[in-house]
Amino acid sequence: MESSAASPLPFAHPFHPTLSDAEEVRSILEHKVPPELAIQIVSLGYNPWLAKRRAHEGDYYADYTKPDAKHCVASLYLTSECIPNDGHRVVPQRIIFQTSAAYQGYITSDGKDGFLNSHTRFDASILRPLSSKVDGTGQDVPLEEALSDTWWDPESATDALKEKGWEFVAAEDGRTAWRVCNNSEALAEYQDYKVEWTRGAQAATEDDEPLGRGEGFLELLKPGYIVVLWVRTGLRCWCNKVRAATIEIEYELP
């Protein structure tokens, strides 16, 4: 994970070819080289991307409580563009999350120690459209604008998401949210964090590292699905201050 205090939050990848761009380039190449070689050339540097950014400042406190005195909050901050579902057998290969957030700065040590007791983080989920949509799905506006409520955790938003025509995609172990990254407890100023997951690969981190592994995430991401980024806070009176986030998804054509 990379962190910095740069602002505003630029996209991590400088170039985002569209699906039509990639198809056009591959078509041109196929007139000059064998089709299988054209596919390889496009996959090396001209795969299509989906990119979405949101810049909205908000303070997210752990206002929800349970009988055991635990506190938590989850808020849907950003949704990705929909994975193309127009007959192409696209395969998501890489996803890059970036967040710009601040913590209380209660401790003075930086580096890994600043994350050891971190109670604010970001999670990611995959949503798929329901087979039978209900009226008023809110799809004319992004989900982050259509759903302004907060919940105890992402799963608690299940009914609200279904009202908008979406449902969670669960892994084999039943999980519906993957930890993206924690915020450093040592820094009260806004910091920019970058996390990258690749299909078929596991991030080289341990469970106590400040970023999530993303294991199996991209394998579940199919055409027609979207990725959502959740803001999380998990301790009473603590606050996750967020000002921006990005989601970039690279996929390839068969």
Angle, helices 19-30/35-45, rounded to nearest 10 degrees:
140
pLDDT on residue 82: 94
pTM as predicted = 0.84
pLDDT on residue 61: 81
Alpha helices (H) along 67-218:
143-146, 158-163
pLDDT on residue 69: 53
Q: By the 8 A CB rule, do 7 and 221 touch?
A: no
φ and ψ at residue 190, rounded to 5 degrees? -60, 135
pLDDT on residue 76: 96
Over residues 2-42, the pLDDT tens digits come to 444 444 799 999 889 888 888 788 788 877 888 777 777 77
Q: How is the chain split into domains, by residue range?
A: 2-8+50-252
Sign of CA dihedral 41, 46, 48, 51: positive
Low-confidence ranges of the chain (pLDDT < 50): 1-7, 112-113, 132, 134-138, 206
Q: How far apart are CA 23 and CA 120, in angstroms?
A: 41
Q: Which residue type occupies 85?
A: N
The enclosing H or E element of 188 equals none
The rounded Cα 186 to chain-centroid distance in angstroms is: 24
Using DSSP's 3-state secondary structure scheme, residue 25 falls into: helix
pLDDT on residue 118: 62
pLDDT on residue 41: 77
pLDDT on residue 138: 45
Q: How far apart are CA 173 and CA 198, in angstroms?
A: 20
